[in-house]
Amino acid sequence: MRIDAHQHFWHYTPEEYGWIGPGMEVLQKDHLPANLAPLLESARIDGTVAVQARQTLAETEWLLALAEQHPFIKGVVGWVDLRSRDLRAQLERFCAHPKFRGVRHVVQDEPDGQFMLRPDFLRGLAALAEFGLTYDILIFPRHLPAACQVVERFPDQPFVLDHIAKPFIKDRIVEPWATDIRRLAALPNVCCKVSGMATEADWQRWQAPDFRPYLDVVLNAFGPGRIMFGSDWPVCTLAGSPVPGHGTGYLEVGGIICNYVQDLSAEEQADVWSRTAVRFYKLEQP
């Protein structure tokens, strides 16, 4: 079995997706389950986790509605306002849906580099464990020290790091990212998604060996039992295709992980491809 633990959907409008700017025209269209389904079949992916791309309650509602209509969506990581005094009502509302699995906030776009340590945000994170929800950490390398403090503060809260914290792969910079990753991985309640790497590399000229120094750090730090594959579709199409702007890029991005894990044992490969995601998000197996 294979699980894609990180992908997105959207009805594209420039107003709602202002982050999709010049040079990202391949993303400036609808990306819906009907577009993803044939790619999953080609890659032999059995299910996915759909992750929020807008910071609205309507986004969470929409993703949960899609999950009802499309069985391959095994779980949803939505958005709630973790700083709201109305947070409990929001969580109770969404937890009524059986595929609501976790929450994410786009911390990487917050101007305050210490955003995760704000008292109101920490108060919201503290509520997630009561509802059995996970939290996806979306940050840049500069945010890793703050992320370590947050994860240390909530030892019973399951966390997962998205996109290996977006290291500077294009520039071949490993430190201090690697040191901070090891510190984060020393905390047993955090996992890591090997996702979103191609878009941190040279979009036109990346090669599989470009990712090995970063994957080596992540594998050695977390171990296969705390690593999960994610495509980051459709964002991966920016850099996933051999001809940028053409094709899907889905198989190429999956190929990065296929090539890397081929020397692992069958049990370890099963962890990366599905079992870590199934355990972490408590997914129903096909």
Residue ranges covered by each domain of the chain: 3-281
pLDDT at 241: 60
Half-sphere exposure of 269 (CA within 13 A, CB side): 12
**Which residues, in sequence order, are bridge partners of residue 227?**
192
Would the pLDDT of 283 be above 80?
Answer: yes
Instruction: Assign residue 81 a region (left: φ > 0; alpha: ψ between -120 and 50; beta: otherwise).
Output: beta
Cα–Cα distance, 41 to 281 (Å, whole number)? 22
| Mean pLDDT across 31-40 | 96
Q: What CATH fold (topology level) applies to the domain 3-281?
A: TIM Barrel (3.20.20)
Would the pLDDT of 247 be above 80?
Answer: no
Would the pLDDT of 72 be above 60?
Answer: yes
Cα–Cα distance, 164 to 228 (Å, whole number)? 11
Higher per-residue pLDDT: 193 or 255:
193
Q: What is the mean pLDDT of the chain?
A: 95
Would the pLDDT of 246 be above 60?
Answer: no
